[in-house]
Amino acid sequence: MPSNRLEQFFGFTSFGESHGAAMGLLIDSPTPNLDFPYAALRDALNRRKIHTPFKTSREETDDYEILSGVFEGKTTGMPLCIIVRNRDIRSSDYEAIRNLFRPGHADFAWFQKFGIYDFRGGGRASGRETLVRVIAASFTDEVIQPIQISTSCLQIGTMRCETTSDTHDNPFHWQDSSSLDDLYSYLQQSKDRGESLGGIIRLTASRVPAGLGDPVYEKLSANIAKAMLSIPSVKGINFGDGFALASMQGSEANDQISSQGFLSNHQGGINGGVSNGNDIVFDLIIRPIPSVSTPQRTIDREGKDHWIEVHGRHDSCHIPRLIPVAEAMLKLCLADAIQHQRLIQGKATDLVSFRESLDKIDEDLLLLLYRRRQIVQQVKEYKLKHQLPNHDPIREQQIISRAQELAKELDIDPNIVSQIIQLVLNSSQ
Ligand SMILES: Cc1cc2nc3c(=O)[nH]c(=O)nc-3n(C[C@H](O)[C@H](O)[C@H](O)COP(=O)(O)O)c2cc1C
């Protein structure tokens, strides 16, 4: 049977094909009384939609609809169903190649298994399926606090990122600003040839408590690996120093422990299937996407030889869109392990944990205010340089109205929200 269910504490069943009516997920028995994560969900969907010149030209709004399981902004504990309608479909792109198996795609293998497959946009094997993973993970943000997840790109095609400590304020999470232009021209040249590029990304989860995971068949590392390898186009994973561990001596590969903590992190934060409190670090090997317009050999359903060129709308490098998906899968794995650990320790609802969460939110609020003030300062300098008026009452009103709208969605008093926003605006002046 095709497996469409992620068996976890935050488990869900998903459905939908790239060119079908909608993508969606059903969370069978969600925790009741959870605040529906409107803001986290919107953020997550926007991150996945990220724009680069190397992204598919298919433009989906990704507006979601809640079909069931939410009442007055909270989960009811009943089946929670969310869908995202597919709107920008152009199935005619696939008519010319409907009987040909596209090399590197699931077409041939799935036809062997099921005797039928939806050739339009990759059907269920499409990268579009990953949308639901991002939706599901937005329910875990609170549970996994204070864990922080970040991603950096180590390699695209044959180009390696030589430093990992510089800025990563770009869709590729490329941390070497001095070679960013070279990266973009390398990607453009590949796209111009009708080709695609993959690469290697590194995920890091920091502030992970020790003790998550299980010793034998439910090792945290094994569950993370399975989750990552279930993402289309992810072909490999290695933890910590990965392949380099093979050529190290035991004493080099060990992470020695002192009273201050671990002295290194060669193992990637997991020993014996359980998190050790070090950062969880692993690399993903991502193949180049299979749709390329260069001519390739294939066969049709009768087994006859053909040449095929795959045109249509495709990512020529999908790594920026895969990063939020990989992070979402990691969040789901960690949330699962945390919930299990809480059940084991019987502290699912203690006051200390609640207070820890509140303290974290208050700290985040202050950090956001600080960051806002910094950006406002840059805006002021920009306006001064371009001789623009400093005060913009129309924009201020727009900001307040937007916040009021979101407040209504979140079931918060819009008047209070407008007062808060006004204070924020004043304090940034
Ligand atoms: C976010 C994302 C976007 C993707 N976009 C495309 C695409 O535009 N065109 C394409 O041929 N494959 C794309 N893929 C990859 C295919 O879905 C995948 O390579 C194919 O289904 C075969 O699966 P496999 O590579 O895991 O064997 C994308 C994957 C992800 C995760």
Domain spans, the chain: 88-345, 351-428
Q: How far is the CA of 90 from the centre of ligand 1 (A)?
A: 17
pLDDT tens digits for range 202-255: 999 999 999 999 888 889 999 999 999 999 999 999 999 999 999 999 999 999
What does the pLDDT read at residue 416?
Answer: 92
Q: How far is the CA of 199 from the centre of ligand 1 (A)?
A: 13
The arithmetic mean of pLDDT across residues 187-196, rounded, is 93
Residue 271 has pLDDT above 80, yes or no: yes
pTM: predicted TM-score of the whole model, two decimal places:
0.80
pLDDT tens digits for range 383-405: 888 888 888 888 889 999 999 98
Closest Cα to atom 21 of ligand 1: 125
Residue 74 has pLDDT above 90, yes or no: yes
Q: Which atom of ligand 1 approaches the CA of 315 most closely?
A: 8
Is-contact 221 229, C-beta < 8 A?
no
CATH number, domain 351-428: 1.20.59.10
Closest Cα to atom 25 of ligand 1: 233
What does the pLDDT read at residue 70?
Answer: 95
Residue 8 has pLDDT above 90, yes or no: no
Residues with CB under 6 A from ligand 1: 56, 105-106, 122, 125-127, 130, 231-233, 287, 289-291, 314-315, 318, 321-322, 325
pLDDT tens digits for range 90-139: 667 677 788 899 999 999 999 999 998 888 877 899 999 999 999 999 99
Is-contact 133 123, C-beta < 8 A?
no
Q: How far is the CA of 319 from the centre of ligand 1 (A)?
A: 10
**Around 53, how many Cα atoms within 13 Å sit in the side-chain half-sphere?**
10
Crossing angle of helices 393-409 and 38-48, in 10° steps, is 110
Q: How far apart are the first and last CA of the chain?
A: 60
Q: Which CATH number fits domain 88-345: 1.10.1380.10, 3.60.150.10, 3.90.1170.50, 2.60.40.10?
A: 3.60.150.10
**pLDDT category of residue 273 using cuts at 50, 70 and 90:** very high
CA gap 231, 110 in Å, rounded: 16
